[in-house]
Every structure is written in structure tokens, then in C-alpha cells.
Amino acid sequence: MTRLLLAAGAGALTLQAAPAGAQGFAAYITPPRFELRLNAGEASRQVVEIQHAGLQKGSYRLYTNDWSLRADQSVDFSDALAPDSCRPWVAIERRELTIEPGARYRYRFEITPPPGTPARECRFALMIEGLDTTRVQGDLNFPVGGRIGVIVYASIGDAAPQLAITGTRVVTVQGQPTAVVDVRNSGNAHGRLEGFVNGTDALGTRVEMAPADLPILPGETRAVAILPVPENGKPAPELRFPLTVKGQLEWGKNRLPLDARFAP
């Protein structure tokens, strides 16, 4: 099992080890995340484009993993099948490939939920792993590799999230107080909070704020930070608590009113 950190908003999770000067893992993946709706008994064919940016040919291994998301936003990938894994429904084009320098490869995979599958969400990661070994210094060879996990969410039938705010609080993130809402998902598919709200800090500074782009998986409660939105490329202002936040957050066509005072 491998543990990686999920950056807010990222769908492609990267583990990379590349000493200076090495010709290691050099792939760009499009799209970084899939959010699909499928019907039971019907195949869904998808394409990931892999661009090899290295100066030499790149060799890659491709496979699927199950994954889980921890409270600290880190991700555990696992080769072993999870109890409710849908990876047996997934067919991949091939397990290894070589790409010329600067070339792109359109890699295909297919998901086929069995007939009669009840409404649920299928989640897995398509792993793209570099296989190259590069001579780094002297007579020593280091394996210089990395891998990218493209996260796939596939809602079967009418599976959908059901989000509700269960609490508000202030937590310390990298030494700074941060407004957080606890969000419960009682549905059977993942959801994400969106939208903009208005914040006013203790000095009267007004700022537009938005929720962090984090998936809230079925059956879990997740802490979602409400963060200032930078304007015109400028750094977000440093807020003084207590902080008042008002407005409406969104998930899909639904609205979640927020009128809260955040005090450390």
C-alpha cells in the first residue's frame, strides 16, 4: 500500500522520485480525473492521453488500484482488491507501452457494470508508472521513476451525493487559523462543495471565499476548508479571526446556506 498526498482540486495523484539531472518520469496526463455516469449492463469506453516529455523513449506500466482518502487528504493506493472493489469491471488496453520523445498516446480503458448492478459509485485509480532506470552519477544506477494515479468516479444508475453541513470550526493549517465546515455525505456517490461566499474578518476586511475542492465520499464526514479567493493573481489577504462568513454553497443543483462565525 502506498500513501500519497491529495492536493486540493487534483484528480491525478503523483508520486515521483527524480534526482537532479536525471531523465526520469516525464509524462503529462489528460484528463487528470474522470467523473462519469454509467448504466448497469452497458460498457463505457474512455481515453486517457499520455504525453511523454522526455528526451528519450519512455516506458510505462499501466494497471488499476483501489484507493481510500484519509482525514488529512492523503490517499492510500492498494493493489489488493477492496471488499467492494469495482476493478473487476474494468478492462485496460495494455499493461506496458513505450512512447517516443514528445509523442502522445491515446490509452483506452472500459468500464462495464454487470446487469442488475444497484445504484452505487464505482471508484478506482488508473496507475501510470514509469519503468525507466537512469544512470545518475559515477558507477551507480538509481531507478528514477514515478507514477500518476488518474482517479475515476463512475456513478451507476441514479447514484448521487446527499450533502449537509454538520458543524463549523477553526483549525490550524501550516500555522494559520483556517475556517472549516464539516460536511456529511449520506448519499451513495461522492460530492464536492462549490460556490462563493462572503467573509468579513475582525478588522472589517471583506473577501470572497470558496470551499476547497475535495471529494466527500459516501458515508463520510469531511472537513472542508473555506478559503479566501485570490484576486488578479495577488496573494490572498491574511484574515484576522473571528471571521464571519455568509452566503450559499452549492453541490450540483442544490444549495447549502452558510451563516457562521468562526472563532479560534
- pLDDT under 50: residue ranges of the chain: 3-10, 14-24, 134-144
**Dihedral sign computed on CA atoms, order 8, 147, 150, 121:** negative
Q: Looking up cell 491529495, which residue turns up?
A: 6
Closest to 243 in 3D by CA, of 260, 223, 224 = 260
Output the pTM of the full model: 0.85
Per-residue model confidence (pLDDT) at position 185: 98
Per-residue model confidence (pLDDT) at position 6: 40
What DSSP line would sit under 110-146, residue for residue?
EE-PPTTPPSEEEEEEEEEEE---EEEETTEEE--EE
C-alpha–C-alpha distance, residues 129 and 23, integer Å: 14
Per-residue model confidence (pLDDT) at position 233: 76
**Dihedral sign computed on CA atoms, order 76, 77, 82, 85:** positive
Per-residue model confidence (pLDDT) at position 187: 98
